[in-house]
Amino acid sequence: MHDVGEDPLDAKDLSGGNSVPPGLQSGQEPWRCGEPLKHPLTKHSDDPLGALHNRMINYDRYMCDIWKDEIEKLLIFAGLFSATVTAFSVESYKWLKEDSSETSAMLLRHISQQLSGTTDNTMDPVPLSLDLTPFSPTMQSIRINIFWFLSLILCLSSVLLGILCTQWTREYTRNIPLPPEHAIANRQLRYTGFFAWGVPGMISALPVILKTSVLLFFAGILDLLWSLHPIVAIFITVAIGLITSILVLTTIAPLAQCIYLFCRRDPPGLSQCPYKSSQSWLFFKLFTTLVCVPVSALMSTIERYTGIYFVPYVRLSTFFRQYQHTASSWPDLDTIWRKYRQLHVMEFEENMDIEALGQGFMWTIQEFPPRLHYDVMQDIFHCINTILPLRVSHDVMHMCIESGTDAPPSTRLGSGRGALGHDAMMLRFLQFYAPRTKCKHLLDELRVRCMNGLAAGMQGSDEQLGNDLRDSAFGRATALASNRRSFDTTIETLLQTFMSMVNYKSICPNCYTFTSGLIHLSIHAPLTKENVLLHRDIQRLSLFLLDYFQRETVEDITNGAESSNIFIIQASFRWLLSSQSPALGRIRKWELDLHQLLDGTSYVTVATPVTNKIISFMTETLVSAVREQQKSFRGALADAAQTERRLRRHGFWPGD
């Protein structure tokens, strides 16, 4: 085995942070948080926010078109069926009152009997009794009329509800020209309120009501008879009263919600009442004109003469004053609602409703999973990376992550501000939702930027972030080490990864990232004259990292501490000897090819300095030094023996 020449990359020159290691010839600068991304996702559209809004609009139109088509068919059926029930009811209600023709016939018979007694020349005829009992309908007639009239009322009620739902869906799909960030917030207000107030449930109930009406009609047909009896009147009154109450409540509900919410100290939420129909808008305007104007004058008089200041009324009057001057339709009211939230909700930045935007993005992710719809992730990425302000995009990503994970808050990625916090949040967001095969380069870059940011102590650094980065880096290292088919990264990214390891000194995951990077580089990376400087810089950084690993391991062994670092290093370096054709041999070949391409101008006196230093480190430190301290490192002795067996089996043990 040859000795390694002196490495000009001295450890004292690398103090950590985002410093550039001296002596590197490729001209690469460390990737820093806050700088433009080197590997962003490709753009799918010129206006990503507009594209997201168009997807929402198309989804809403498709949803409402299905509902409208179903309602129209139900209304046609209800019209035909109500005519049928009416025809039966016109006849059945007669059974509930006395038949005048039958009474007349009975009286005529009685008169005839009296006249026939007079013609018999009887001087004192015995008067015949006329037994006229009060009329009472049979219970069967009552039941049948209850069934049929309830059937008719339910059928007509479904028509009324169907018309209301058609009005609500029409207002729901109405849009006015707005910037995409405001249009998405307005749409999310309507969408959340539409479902929170049960409109889809009402639409789903229409077929049930009609089916119930048909069953009642069948029951009346089987039982036969019903109508103008007090009991019937009670049932019909209750049925009509219920449907009338629904009509009245849905008409006044939008106004009632405004009065309730704007009188409170708390800001209005996203669950806006969706019962927007022509009659509810008319009632809204009548109330503000006939009630609010006189009350406003009265309250102003009271304040002027008594000094009494009614805070809830002031907030409400401010809302209605805005409404009177700017609102001419339900979409205008949506805009007033959003602006009022902007004044009182903390989740606003740059005139944007962060809560509504976050829920809008989350809805898009749930309805169009990015792993199946990559264009959706492209648009979302460019929205949070370049279009939305930094704080807005940070909070939107945080809301999406919090909504999509069940992990306790202590295990989630930190929400620190600043460039580091934003990159860390984007890393977690993309790991959680994006297809990793299509954004692996971007994920690698974000990991490097975050590690450099942690090493530099940027704002947003914390222990949890370091733990998350270590877990992420270990997963990526495992994927690289096990990839035997293709080059799964870029040489520039590998160099930046090695530079970040020099800055961010940590045994785990650096040792796994180091060995997996070398394995992947030696097996798959192309080596050409165009990228030879990148390869040489990776070689130089590898020598420095090996020195660092050796110093840390020797220190642990000298201190006699059962350190987990030793087990981590032993396991990671065994990756280099884990197959019949070990990766260490491929690393040696990569160095020979690199030395040949450089025409002997390498800074080292031998062609394979990294391979030699790896063998030296494994034999002298991971095997011999551990055995010398066997009393303190009994757990590592088995790993040391396994490492020696693999080195001997593949011919890398010195002297073999």
User: Lowest-pLDDT range, 170-179, 380-389, 527-536, 596-605?
Assistant: 596-605
Going by pLDDT thresholds of 50, 70 and 90, the confidence category of residue 70 is: confident
Going by pLDDT thresholds of 50, 70 and 90, the confidence category of residue 462 is: low
Query: Does 323 have pLDDT greater than 60?
Result: no
Query: Does 3 have pLDDT greater than 50?
Result: no
**Coil, strand, or helix at residue 3?**
coil
Residue 442: closest CA among 37, 45, 28, 33: 37
Q: Residue 102: what pLDDT? A: 60
- Residue 40 neighbours by CB under 8 Å, 6+ apart: 381, 382, 385, 442
Q: Is the dihedral of CA 481, 525, 500, 38 positive or negative?
A: negative
How many helices (H) does the chain have, and how many strands (E)? 24, 2
Query: Does 468 have pLDDT greater than 60?
Result: yes
User: What distance in Å separates the CA atoms of residue 433 and residue 174, rounded to the nearest whole number?
Assistant: 31
| Per-residue pLDDT tens over the stretch 519-569 | 888 888 888 888 888 998 999 899 988 988 888 888 877 776 656 677 788
Residues 646, 575: contact at Cβ < 8 Å? Answer: no
| Per-residue pLDDT tens over the stretch 194-250 | 888 888 888 888 888 888 888 888 777 767 644 555 666 566 667 767 877 887 888
Q: Residue 135: what pLDDT? A: 57
User: What distance in Å separates the CA atoms of residue 554 and residue 610, rounded to the nearest whole number?
Assistant: 19
Which secondary structure element, helix H or strand E, spans residue 211, and what is its range? helix 199-223
User: Lowest-pLDDT range, 12-16, 191-195, 393-397, 439-443?
Assistant: 12-16
User: What distance in Å separates the CA atoms of residue 347 and residue 133, rounded to the nearest whole number?
Assistant: 78
Going by pLDDT thresholds of 50, 70 and 90, the confidence category of residue 155 is: very high
Query: Does 14 have pLDDT greater than 70?
Result: no
What is the average pLDDT value for the chain, to the nearest integer? 77
Going by pLDDT thresholds of 50, 70 and 90, the confidence category of residue 180 is: confident
What average pLDDT does this structure show over 592-605? 71
Q: Look at 300 and 275; give whichever has higher pLDDT.
A: 275
| Per-residue pLDDT tens over the stretch 340-370 | 666 655 444 556 778 888 888 888 888 888 8
Q: Is the dihedral of CA 92, 93, 98, 104 positive or negative?
A: negative
**Coil, strand, or helix at residue 471?**
helix
Residues 267, 340: contact at Cβ < 8 Å? Answer: yes
Residues 514, 542: contact at Cβ < 8 Å? Answer: yes
Query: Does 119 have pLDDT greater than 70?
Result: no
Q: Look at 477 and 268; give whichever has higher pLDDT.
A: 477
* CB environment 550-575: b (16+ within 10 A), e (fewer): bebbeebbeeeeebebbebbbebbbb
What average pLDDT does this structure show over 70-87? 89
DSSP-derived secondary structure for 106-160: HHHHHHHHHHHHHTTT-SSPPPPP---PPP---HHHHHHHHHHHHHHHHHHHHHH
User: What distance in Å separates the CA atoms of residue 464 and residue 364, rounded to the nearest whole number?
Assistant: 29
User: What distance in Å separates the CA atoms of residue 513 and residue 504, rounded to the nearest whole number?
Assistant: 12
